[in-house]
Amino acid sequence: MPGRLLSWPDWPEFTAAKAEPGDDPVGYKRTLAEKYGKENIIKSWLKLCQELESVTDRITEHGSSAIPEVTFEEVFDLSPERRQALKGRWPAETPFILNLYYSPTQMAARSRLKQLKLSKELNSCRHDKPGSSYSLESLSYADGIRIRPPGVTFRGLGPHVDARSLCRWADPTYQSVCSAVFSGHLESLANCDLSARQHANQAMFPGSAHSRVFRVFQGWTALTFAGLGEGSLMLYPNVIWTVAYLLLPPFFRAPEAEADVMDVSKWSFDVEDPWFPGTFRDDSQLLSPTSHPHLWLRE
């Protein structure tokens, strides 16, 4: 939760110099390349980066309005077309993080009837194989408190995706969840399909940032007012393209000339480099303008 962003904070950049040692990462890349084919991975890469440029233009033009807003009452009366459209877009240590989990205020917010009803409705966006038995009822997990005192400089958390890291490429079940990306069919990525996703081993590599439980939705409950750019959570609104882009950079080597980095056609297919950009076994998936340039994070 950064303060007002007048310039890009001094969040860390993730480069190949920070790659974790070991031969396993190369093996994961080779396995996926052999399974899905070099041509299909390149096909997804070129298509995806072109689409991300258009997405960035829309975000830059429309700002926060690029993220759809739905009132509490509207959630329960969405047309099938509106619901389908929303599915693809759901969207350093700090002394201001408090390890408080079960205060009366937190418990009251988690157990509010409207909150539980909304969570159940959001859960219904997910689906499983016909005949499968699963519950839409909400199970809330305890999270801490983050408070930023007024007028205090606070870098907040840099761009990241909570929980899971190298398991996205290493776990065979997780690989199957993302098979559409690796096989060149980005548009078929079913991010609401639970059939394989619920069985993926997201704690394959132990770490404090990882959860053994599949968290369907995660968000922040704000109890104080924060205007646009004044400390509110920043989100990348297109989930499908973002997830796809997290998966593909490890298979490509950036051009040496900095001026060519944004030209996706000049990236080279490479499965012999152990570097997985922003990926560390015991941490969340981390992102930066250097490691994931085509997300245009600064913009």
Domain holding 64: CATH number? 2.60.120.330
The answer to the question of residue 5 being in a domain is no
pLDDT at 59: 80
**Residue 96: pLDDT above 60?**
yes
The answer to the question of residue 274 being in a domain is yes
Report in angstroms the alpha-carbon separations of 76 from 80, 81, 122, 125, 238: 11, 14, 9, 12, 22
Backbone phi and psi for residue 127, each to the nearest 5 degrees, phi listed first: -145, 160
Tally of structural domains, the chain: 1
Q: Which residue segment(s) compose the domain that 174 sits in?
A: 25-295
The answer to the question of residue 15 being in a domain is no
- pLDDT bin (cut points 50, 70, 90) of residue 232 is low
pLDDT at 299: 79
- pLDDT bin (cut points 50, 70, 90) of residue 155 is low
The answer to the question of residue 4 being in a domain is no
The answer to the question of residue 247 being in a domain is yes
pTM (two decimals): 0.73
The answer to the question of residue 10 being in a domain is no
pLDDT at 156: 65
Report angle CA 181, 78, 225 to the nearest 5 degrees. 85
